[in-house]
Amino acid sequence: MNTQFELGEKYTISLDAEGYDNKIVEIRYNKIGTLSKSVFVSATKPTIEMSNLILNVKDEISLETIPSTIMAINISDPVNHSSSLIALNDNPPPTFPLEVGQSYEILVTKEGYFNKTVKIDNLSKNDILQEILLTPVEIGKSIIIDDLHFKTGLTELDDASYRLLDQLVDFMSQNSTLKIEIAGHTDSDGSEEFNQTLSEGRAQSAVNYIIEKGVDQNRLVAKGYGETQPLFENDTEENKANNRRVELKVIGK
C-alpha cells in the first residue's frame, strides 16, 4: 500500500482483509523518506453453527419416558471415541447444543435395559427431537452386539471393537445379577466344522476380555453356533456380513 504522509503527523490505519481479523495500527511520520511497517494479523476464527438435539428416552414396550437415563454423546471419530457430554434423561427431555455438520454417536444406558447406541450423521441446522427406545432386559431375550468385528477368518477382535466390549462390561456392572451367553455366528463360507470352531473361538475371545475386565466368569457363557442360525440367506455379501455376528442373550437374573 503506497500512501502520501505529512511530516510530523500521526495516522491511524485500519486494515481489513477477507478471512482475517480487522487490525487498527497507529503510526507517526517523523522523517522524510519511505515509511515501512510490518503488521501481523490473525486469521478469522470460523463461526460455528449450533443446533439443538433434544433426546427423549422411552421404554420400547410401554412407550413411557424412562427417568434418570444416562446418556453419553460422542463426536463420531474412527480413532477417538471419548465422551464429550454426559447427562440424565429427565422431564422435560434434555437439550444439547451441538455443532452443525458433525456426526454424533449417542450411548444410552439404564439399569434393567439393554444399552442402545444411536448415530446421527451430519447434524442439520434444524433442531432435532430424537426418540430413543430401550429394550427391557428379560430372560431369553437376545440382542446383536452391533459393530463387533473380528479379523477375517480369525478369533482376534479388531482394534475398534474393544470399546464395544468395554460398554458391555459397564452393562454387566450396572446389572450386577445378570448372567449372559455370548453367542458367535458365521456365514456359510468355508466348511461347517471350520465355521463351528471359528464361532466358538470368537465367542470365547469376547468372554475372555470381559472376564479380564473384572466380570465374574460364572456370569458368562461362550457358545458358538457356526452357520446353523443365519438371519438371511447367504446369497449376497451384505447378507453374509449380517450373518457374521455376535449376540448377547440373557440366561439368568
pLDDT digits (tens, 9 = 90+) for 132-154: 999 999 999 999 998 899 998 99
- CATH architecture label of 50-134: Sandwich (2.60)
Regions of the chain with pLDDT less than 50: 78-79
CA 169 – CA 145 distance, rounded (Å): 13
CA 237 – CA 152 distance, rounded (Å): 14
Per-residue model confidence (pLDDT) at position 129:
80
Task: List the one residue out of 66, 65, 111, 103 whose CA is nearest residue 84.
Answer: 103
Q: Domain ranges in the chain?
A: 1-46, 50-134, 142-252
CA 100 – CA 119 distance, rounded (Å): 14
Burial 109-133 (b: 16+ CB within 10 A, else e): bbeebbbbbbebeebeeeeeeeebb
**The CATH number of domain 142-252, selected from 3.10.180.10, 3.40.640.10, 3.30.420.40, 3.30.1330.60:** 3.30.1330.60
Per-residue model confidence (pLDDT) at position 83:
54
Residues 6+ apart with CB under 8 A from 152: none
Per-residue model confidence (pLDDT) at position 97:
80
Per-residue model confidence (pLDDT) at position 78:
46
Per-residue model confidence (pLDDT) at position 139:
97
Per-residue model confidence (pLDDT) at position 154:
93
Amino acid 161 reads S
Per-residue model confidence (pLDDT) at position 217:
97
